Amino acid sequence: MPHLELRAKNLDADHVAHAHDHHQLILATRGATELSIEGRGDRITGSRGCLIPCGRHHDYRGDGRNRTFVLDIPATSLPALRDGEAIGRLFERPRFFAVPPRLNRLAASLMQQLECCPALHSEIAALLLRALYLHLEVEPLPADAGVAASACFSERLDLTRLNAWIDRHLADEIRVEQLAALCALSTGHFHACFRELTGVTPLAHVQRRRLDHARALVTHSGLSLGHIASLVGFRDHGSFSRAYRRRFAISPSRARREGRALPSLGQEHRSRGQAVAPEST
């Protein structure tokens, strides 16, 4: 039996961005996850899945209520699989695909089996992958799949307006389709245009604005770090601290201590004024 790593997970609301050295199948049985692969985005739901080839950068953020299959497929395992060569071709490029009700029902049933009998994860994974291959075999890969739309109406991406809206809603969950609606674009087209215009995905951009605003509050306010985390949309202090450290290479608590060790601009001017006051009278 080839080594296939299958997990049933709840993808939470933390923004995650990475790449890995294996192919990956993402298939949900309930809930939703916003996912973008190198600028092309979609929602993973019970009716929508995706294939991520190894080495492709992607980022995602779940709704915290999903139930999702994550199947890791090392390229070295493909030759041992039935139809392994054809399955390998499914991962030639990133792909989002429709999940019909029958495949969703099978996935839900297999998820129950996996939770009851985790030792059978390799067999369940092989069965799921085989079922997916048979489904996609009759749904040919579009010639332009995984390629960002060439016509990008960047004039419809008013970044000033988008940023103002984002900043007003930092404490809330911000979904990509909300941003796309502000620009009157589909979610996928918005992803492609936004990435082309800014060089980052919408989710990454929102995360940066959350953290940049948090840095100002950390260094220039007396609010507790937990309160700051909630104000900029993090559900707990731990996820906020990890994201802050990844962004600025320093923890928020240390940033606050070091910021307080330096005089503020106003204090510096006041001290200078006090020093020269006797000479000016």
Q: Give the per-residue pLDDT at 41.
A: 83
221-243 tens-digit pLDDT: 989 999 999 999 998 889 999 99
CATH code reported for the domain at 154-260: 1.10.10.60
**190-211 residue pLDDT tens:** 887 888 788 888 999 999 999 9
Whether the Cβ atoms of residue 242 and residue 207 lie closer than 8 Å to each other: no
The answer to whether 122 touches 1, Cβ cutoff 8 Å, is: yes
Instruction: Give the per-residue pLDDT at 160.
Output: 85
Least confident span in 11-20, 80-89, 121-130, 209-218: 80-89
Rounded to a whole number of angstroms, the CA Rg of the chain reads 24
d(C-alpha 268, C-alpha 262), whole Å: 10
Strand partners, 61: 34
CATH of domain 5-137: 2.60.120.280
pLDDT range class, residue 54, cuts 50, 70, 90: very high
H helical segments located in the chain: 84-90, 101-116, 121-137, 159-168, 176-182, 187-198, 202-220, 225-231, 237-248, 252-260, 265-280
The arithmetic mean of pLDDT across residues 31-59, rounded, is 90
Whole-number pLDDT of residue 167: 92
- The three-class DSSP label of residue 58 is strand
Is 60 exceeded by the pLDDT of residue 155? no
Whether the pLDDT of residue 256 is over 80: the answer is yes
pLDDT, mean of residues 2-23: 88
Residue 245 has pLDDT above 90, yes or no: yes
If one compares 39 and 87, the residue with the highest pLDDT of the two is 87
Provide the 3-class DSSP secondary structure of residue 263.
coil
Specify the pLDDT at position 277: 36
Statement: residue 268 has pLDDT above 50: no
Quick one: average pLDDT of 89-114? Answer: 89
- Answer whether residue 183 shows pLDDT above 60: yes
* Whether pLDDT at 278 is above 80: no
Domain boundaries, given as residue ranges, for the chain: 5-137, 154-260
Compute φ and ψ for 256, nearest 5 degrees: -65, -45
What is residue 181's predicted lDDT score, i.e. its pLDDT? 87
In which band, very low, low, confident or very high, does the pLDDT at 8 lie, cut at 50, 70 and 90? very high
Please write the tens of the pLDDT for every residue from 55-82: 999 999 998 899 999 999 998 888 888 7
